[in-house]
Amino acid sequence: MLIKEYFKLVRELDEDRLEKAIILALNPSLEMINYYAKYVRGFNESLPPQPSIESISIESIKKILGEDGVEIFLAVDQVISLMPRYMLRRLNEALTKNEDLDIVRTLSRKLYDEYSKTVDGVRVEDLIFEDYRKESILLVLPSWRQLELVHGRWRELAWREKTLKNEETPTVEGWIMDVTLLADVLVDEGVKSIIVADTVHEGRLPVSGGEVIYVDFGRGLCKIGYPRDSSISWLNRPIISNMALPFRRGEEEIITEVYWKIGLTPILRLRWVESDGSLKRVKVEGGNFFMVGDDEEAALITGIGVRGTDPETFTLLDSLLPKRVRFFGVPLSGYLKDWVSGVVHLDVVFAYLGEVGEGRVALVDPSRMGFYSILEYNRDSKNFKIKSFIEFAREFELTIDEPPRRLGSPITMINALNLGNGKLVVDSFNKEVNRYLEKELKVDLIEVDIPHIEAGGGGPRCATRDIPSLRSSS
């Protein structure tokens, strides 16, 4: 069943089945396989986090919802997962008081319309590519309610105790400095910046050139300052991600809330896919995706690794994007006990610069990705084919370059925000890389000092999310 038909199905359910499906979607009975606990020798609690494989038995769903229960579950789960929090509160009140559930039907109607307008008849030339000219960008500013979680748990939460400047981290003051600097730089470049801040900051932030909106983040969610991961923007309406690690779950709900606040309805959340008698929870994080190409043919490139895109996710994407988009998976190096050389997202080892000089250029760190091979997903056979990375580069007329890594941050030396028109926002710490890009590739760089963002595991691309609805019509 096509995803937009899910929204139609929800409106047709009787009250009893709708209520049962809502309760199941809110509290699914999960089966979990943990790599460390079952398959890694020497497992202990100090190891860096690995996501579990999570699934729901199809038979258990059918026992509650009937033989067509899987489609009913997927449909209702999809609608609920796109609700802003005020709607979720109203839904829970309706369930508690045994009131009608029209709030779900009303939203499903809106989502059907928005999805149809966005996806039906979409062409390659309608897609938003990595190097399009940015007009509006979100940044997220955490408060002490999020950052206090890190202290004493740096290794567990993939954070450094000191910045590259030997400063204590994380600190609220450091994050305010980094985020407002990024916002001011964007404004200077003619890009609207919207800082989404925890309500704790209300009335206390220094004046910035960007707009500020406040959302109650609650406690926890220490990585909320990296909004790249929790959504995707290839179309003119956002797609919500599905974070892999438990301590990052909930970021999707915050970014959904933000989109509703700015009047931009998300059309889809990539959640579950049927696999071997179960519904498998997919891993989809925005830092793993690049849309490259032109109006004739496009490539969706995604990282496959420890928190990379599941192979099953390609089946969900297949119904979403035009047939002239080809799908490619890049194997990423992982980790078990030490993540010094491991990679969780493609955008720390690959960057698409777009048209630079006489052709398209991409940067790579071949030491942490499957540089000599790439997997192409056949959208007809649903199978993968191994091909040469160089063959892929030739087909999309890409020139590949490897910048110098000496004295650079492995997190930010390639992680750059592409503003379009050959202009990149980069971490000023990477002196040799930046001088190389300017001298050898003639790239126009905007250098920013972001030591606290870098210490938490992200760079300029990780800490920003372009807003699709404001893409220039030209």
- Note the pLDDT tens digit of each residue in 162-205: 999 999 999 999 999 999 999 999 999 999 999 999 999 998 88
Residues with Cβ < 8 Å from 246, sequence gap 6 or more?
none
What is the structure's pLDDT at 401? 94
Strands, DSSP E only, in 127-237? 136-141, 192-198, 211-215, 231-232
CB atoms within 10 A of CB 358: 7
- Note the pLDDT tens digit of each residue in 320-373: 999 999 999 999 998 887 777 788 999 999 999 998 877 899 999 998 998 899
User: What is the Cα–Cα distance from 137 to 140, expressed in whole angstroms?
Assistant: 10
Q: Contact, 329 vs 289, CB < 8 A?
A: no
Sign of dihedral through CA atoms 288, 293, 298, 299? negative
What counts of helices (H) and strands (E) characterise the chain?
A: 14, 22
User: What is the Cα–Cα distance from 289 to 284, expressed in whole angstroms?
Assistant: 9
pLDDT at 473 over 70: no
- Note the pLDDT tens digit of each residue in 94-109: 999 999 999 999 999 9
What is the structure's pLDDT at 5? 94
pLDDT at 472 over 50: no
- Note the pLDDT tens digit of each residue in 387-443: 999 999 999 999 999 999 888 999 999 999 999 988 999 999 999 999 999 999 999
Tokens of 205: 């932030």
Domains, the chain, in order of start with CATH, read 3-119 (no CATH), 124-229+285-468 (3.75.10.10)
What is the structure's pLDDT at 206? 78
- Note the pLDDT tens digit of each residue in 278-290: 999 999 999 999 9
pTM for the predicted model, two decimal places: 0.94
User: What is the Cα–Cα distance from 351 to 372, expressed in whole angstroms?
Assistant: 17
| Confidence category of residue 217, pLDDT binned at 50, 70, 90 | very high
Helix (H, G, I), strand (E, B) or coil at 194: strand
Helix (H, G, I), strand (E, B) or coil at 352: strand
| Confidence category of residue 43, pLDDT binned at 50, 70, 90 | low
| Average pLDDT over every residue of 212-237 | 95
Q: Can you spell out the DSSP letters for 321-344?
A: S-TTEEEEEEEB---SS--SS--S
pLDDT at 474 over 60: no
Q: For residue 470, which of 82, 208, 194, 212 has the smallest C-alpha distance?
A: 194
User: What is the Cα–Cα distance from 150 to 223, expressed in whole angstroms?
Assistant: 10
